[in-house]
Amino acid sequence: MEFGIFDHLDWSREDLAAHYEDRLRLIEAYDRAGFYAYHLAEHHATPLGTAPSPGIFLSAVAQRTTHLRFGPLVYCVPLYPPIRLLEEICMLDQMSHGRLELGVGRGISPIEVAYFGLDHEVAPAMYQEALDLILAGLRGGELNFDGEHYQVKEMPLTLSPHQKPHPPLWYGLSRPDSTVWAAQNAVNIITNRDEAGSRQITDRYRAEWRALGHAEGTLPRMGMSRHIVIADTEAEALSIARRAYKVWRHSFYVLWDRHDMKPINVHFPDDLDALIAMGQAIIGTADQVGEEVRRQAAASGVNYFLCRFAFGDMSHDEAIQSVDLFTKHILPA
């Protein structure tokens, strides 16, 4: 079992510069603690995500950390000219000496995609074509690509990634059928599903992996994410989490509510206690959280556990308390 961090970098304060600095200080703590990687969401036109250009923030992460791996989860690929994204990927991987984890996707929100003038029904085809172009470019040489949406002819590639043939790929999914492509391409996966849904996904991934002739010990990372708050007492942890979750949930839904739409393949209840009952938030003392993390990891079949320590209006001190207690009492076990 390995542990990583998932972050929306959602915003609830007026001083955005201070918000970025606080998060970078927290990421330095993740680096010291020995977490495997920091994964950053990409969102647009919503307080849910204040890193709409994740590469810019991640370039700061590269400079402020030494061992921690990092990457977008995910780049909303259709929103980028693929050649420019290819070059950005190479720069980040080189600047970090090969610590980039490359999350890719088409963008889950049709609202956000539409703001860029794109049809969300066309975006999946654009995503697949752009990803093919980017992966071809990461292999080096002269780039030639002739697709329906993108064409490149005899482009000399002056940049290359540090990791060969490319940084590890990541993909977010919610359905077991989506594991077929992931297994065929050795892609790491992440889900927000509950235990039962996560188990369906990990069981299917293992089955697909074995069918391809691979050994269990070579499995890519299969992860799920959870809100986690730890304090010296359960009452203190619940007080922090209930307050912060209310703000985070508002940010998550604000754009959907504005357009009178429901989020796709995900639901977060109004109240933190309902989220805890669903198993998607783990709140309490270090002993309580450690036991629940172990139970959920076994029940879901994951080999990678993503912690969401900072969310809503949580202060730096409140978030770092969770990280310190997790590092001291849970990671060693």
pLDDT on residue 13: 74
User: What pTM does this model have?
Assistant: 0.96
pLDDT on residue 333: 83
Question: What average pLDDT does range 120-132 have in this prediction?
Answer: 95
Q: What count of Cα atoms within 13 Å lies in the side-chain half-sphere of residue 269?
A: 12
pLDDT on residue 245: 98
Query: Which alpha helices (DSSP H) does the chain contain, by range?
Result: 16-33, 54-64, 82-95, 110-115, 123-138, 179-184, 195-211, 234-258, 272-277, 286-300, 316-329
DSSP calls for 73-95 = S-EEGGGS-HHHHHHHHHHHHHH
pLDDT (tens digit per residue) in 166-190: 999 999 999 999 999 999 999 999 9
| 109 has a pLDDT exceeding 90 | yes
Report the run of H or E that residue 230 belongs to, with start and end: strand 222-230
Question: What average pLDDT does range 276-304 have in this prediction?
Answer: 97
| CA atoms of 36 and 303, how far apart (whole Å) | 12
| 216 has a pLDDT exceeding 90 | no
pLDDT on residue 11: 87
Question: What average pLDDT does range 254-265 have in this prediction?
Answer: 93
Peptide linkage before 161 cis (omega within 30 of 0): no
pLDDT on residue 93: 98
Question: What average pLDDT does range 34-40 have in this prediction?
Answer: 98
| CA atoms of 127 and 207, how far apart (whole Å) | 26
Question: What average pLDDT does range 128-145 have in this prediction?
Answer: 96
| CA atoms of 61 and 170, how far apart (whole Å) | 19
Confidence label for 14 from pLDDT (cuts 50, 70 and 90): confident
Q: Average pLDDT of the chain? A: 96
Collapsing DSSP states into helix, strand and coil, what is residue 319?
helix
pLDDT on residue 265: 83
Determine contact, residues 255/20, Cβ cutoff 8 Å: no
| 12 has a pLDDT exceeding 80 | no
